[in-house]
């Protein structure tokens, strides 16, 4: 019986550890590259050079960097929600 309890405890621990890794996974993709591909996927007509500049501008993750990134994308007529989500993804963790 003790073996069954140990196996069950090990399985629960593994499940909790994997659940934590999955919860942290979105933060691992927060990079200028993640921003670039997100916006390009959602708004394929975006000027790629402007998009790259915007994502690199948003990389520091400050409020000012976010606003500058957002402004660049909106000037290229990227929809507001896509621009905001892309600029959030640009922030490096």
Contacts of residue 15, Cβ cutoff 8 Å, sequence gap at least 6: none
- Please indicate, yes or no, whether residues 22 and 37 belong to a single structural domain of this protein: no
- Please indicate, yes or no, whether residues 46 and 11 belong to a single structural domain of this protein: no
pLDDT at 57: 96
Which pLDDT band holds residue 25 (cuts at 50, 70, 90)? very low
> In whole angstroms, how large is the CA radius of gyration of the chain?
19
Provide the residue range defining the domain that includes 43.
32-90
Which pLDDT band holds residue 31 (cuts at 50, 70, 90)? confident
In order, the DSSP letters of 27-74 are: HHT-SHHHHHHHHHHH-TTS-HHHHHHHHHHHTT--HHHHHHHHHHHH
- Please indicate, yes or no, whether residues 38 and 57 belong to a single structural domain of this protein: yes
User: Two tokens at 31?
Assistant: 């990079």
pLDDT tens digit sequence for 36-77: 999 999 999 999 999 999 999 999 999 999 999 999 999 999
pLDDT at 11: 55
- Please indicate, yes or no, whether residues 20 and 38 belong to a single structural domain of this protein: no
- Please indicate, yes or no, whether residues 37 and 80 belong to a single structural domain of this protein: yes
- Please indicate, yes or no, whether residues 50 and 17 belong to a single structural domain of this protein: no
pLDDT at 75: 97
d(CA 39, CA 46): 8
The total domain count for the chain is 2
């Amino acid at each position: 019986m003790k073996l069954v309890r140990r196996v069950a405890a090990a399985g629960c621990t593994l499940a909790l550890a994997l659940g934590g890794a999955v919860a942290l996974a979105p933060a691992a993709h927060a990079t200028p590259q993640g921003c670039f591909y997100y916006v390009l996927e959602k708004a394929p007509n975006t000027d790629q050079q402007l998009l790259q500049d915007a994502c690199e501008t948003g990389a520091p993750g400050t409020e000012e960097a976010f606003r500058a990134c957002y402004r660049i994308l909106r000037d290229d007529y990227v929809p507001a929600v896509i621009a905001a989500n892309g600029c959030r993804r640009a922030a490096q963790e």
